[in-house]
Every structure is written in structure tokens, then in C-alpha cells.
Amino acid sequence: MAELKCILWDVDGTLADTERDGHRVAFNMAFEEAGLSRQWDVATYGELLAVTGGKERIRFDIDRGGMADMPFEEIAKLHASKTIHYQTLIADGLIPLRPGVRRLLEEAYAAGITLGVSTTTTPAALDALIEHSLGKEWFDRFAVLAAGDIVPAKKPAPDIYLYAIDKLGVSAAETIALEDSSNGWKSVRDANMKCIITINDYTADHDFTGADLVVSELGEADRDAINLLQNPHALDIHHVELKHLQAIMHG
């Protein structure tokens, strides 16, 4: 029975609903700016989310005939342009945090829990979200920001989580991760960590068998109770609190 010492957060779809109204829109802006006719609608981007990483999604769409072929340098340039557009969307306040995220972060920070980020999104995109949606003080409050290509194998490989706990000097047994997708869940599972899933429109039908808790959102005290989709620890929850994460660790 381990004590909870560390909470690692995924970003896209977990901290904020960034995929549909953030990254997808920014990709389309970059495509248009580059003179490409390709646009990813909501359903198409949902398909592309099965591939982890923005440059990898462009390559996948090319390989399946959705876009004309281009060298990696052009893919990287497109992705860099997309990142700039994404940062602008965030700075304009168009991508708020999901319900309960700030509350749980602040509760855990006040309790002295080590907090970190483990994401495949780019460092620049992560920095923009932290600055404009959380606040600049969180650059210091997060003990590690593991993002982008810092590890060679992206989710569903466990590398980004293993990198984070190595940097923090904590064990997997002392860590719980928050994710939103099946790729994220597999990454956490193979890193031998406990995992809470907050689903979104794109991930509601993913297989989260084995996760420690699957909920519609983290929720707020003054709102209706969240939906408990998988609750193997039989927790009594209106909204997810630090005590629930601690109970999962002790379960």
C-alpha cells in the first residue's frame, strides 16, 4: 500500500478540451496558410487522434491519401505553423481548462503533492496553455514538464511517464496519472501507475478496462454530480477530490 506522492497530468483532452476546438482548428489554419486545400473536419480529426503526435498525424493522413506527399521538412514547417496558430487561440481565451482541473491542481499543490505533466504535445503549446489558462506561477508549481519529442517513443509507449518519474525521483507505485484516451491509458498502464480517466467527446467509446476510475469530468462541488463510468474501487464521489486519489492508492 503506497502513499500518493506524485500526480502526472496529460494535457490534450485532460487539462483542457484542446483537440476539437484547438489543435484541429490550428492545423486547418496552417494548411490554408500553406495553400493546401486539405481541411480536417471533426470526424476526420477524431480518426487521426488514433495516431499520437501532430507531425505523425500529418504523415498518416498523407500515407492514407488524404494529402499530397511532402518531405519531412515540409511536415515540420506545417506543424510549426500550426503551433503558432494554436498559441494564438489559447492566448485569445478560446480553450479554457476542463471543469475541476484548477480545483484539483490547487488542492494537490497545497497538500505538498509533487505535480508534473506528461504529454506528447509540443513544449511551446504546453507553455501557452499554462501561461494563458492556468497562470505563470504554474511553471514553478509543476516539478516537471515532460513534453513533445523529449522521448523517442510517444504514447501508447510508457516512455514519457517513465521519463517524468525518473526526473522527479519518485516511483511508479507512488504516482497516479490523469488521462483521457486509450493511448494515454495504455501508456500509464505499461508504466505500472494508477490511472484516472476523464473522457471527452473523442474518447467516450475508448476501452479503459483496468483503469482505476473513469469519469465524465473531474467536476465541481457546486455542480451536478459527475458520471461514474468505471468505479472499481467503489468510491463515493460527487466530484473528484484529492482524497479519492489517495483512496485509489490505498485500495
pLDDT given at position 143: 98
Q: Assess if residue 1 is contained within a domain.
A: no
CATH number at residue 43: 1.10.150.240
User: What are the pLDDT digits (tens) for 7-18?
Assistant: 999 999 999 998
Q: What is the dihedral of CA 233, 235, 238, 240, to 10 degrees?
A: -60
User: Domain range for residue 69?
Assistant: 19-91
List 10, 17, 159, 180, catalytic entry: 10
Element (H, E) at 228: strand 228-230
pLDDT at 110: 98
DSSP string, 69-80: ---HHHHHHHHH
CA distance 83 to 158: 24
pLDDT of residue 240: 98
127 noted as active-site residue: no
φ, ψ of residue 119 to 5 degrees: the values are -145, 155
| Last residue within a domain, chosen from 91, 121, 141 | 91
Tell me which amino acid residue 63 is. Answer: D
**The three cell numbers locating residue 112:** 505538498
For residue 93, what pLDDT is reported?
Answer: 85
How many folded domains does the chain comprise?
A: 2
pLDDT tens digits for range 123-181: 988 999 999 999 999 999 999 999 988 998 999 999 999 999 999 999 999 999 999 99
Annotated catalytic residue within 12, 159, 180, 212: 12
Q: What's the pTM? A: 0.90
Which amino acid makes up residue 135?
G
| Mean pLDDT, the chain, integer | 96
Strands 213-215 and 175-179 turn out to be: unpaired
Q: Is 63 a catalytic residue?
A: no
Report pLDDT for 204.
94
Task: Say whether both 76 and 118 belong to one domain.
Answer: no
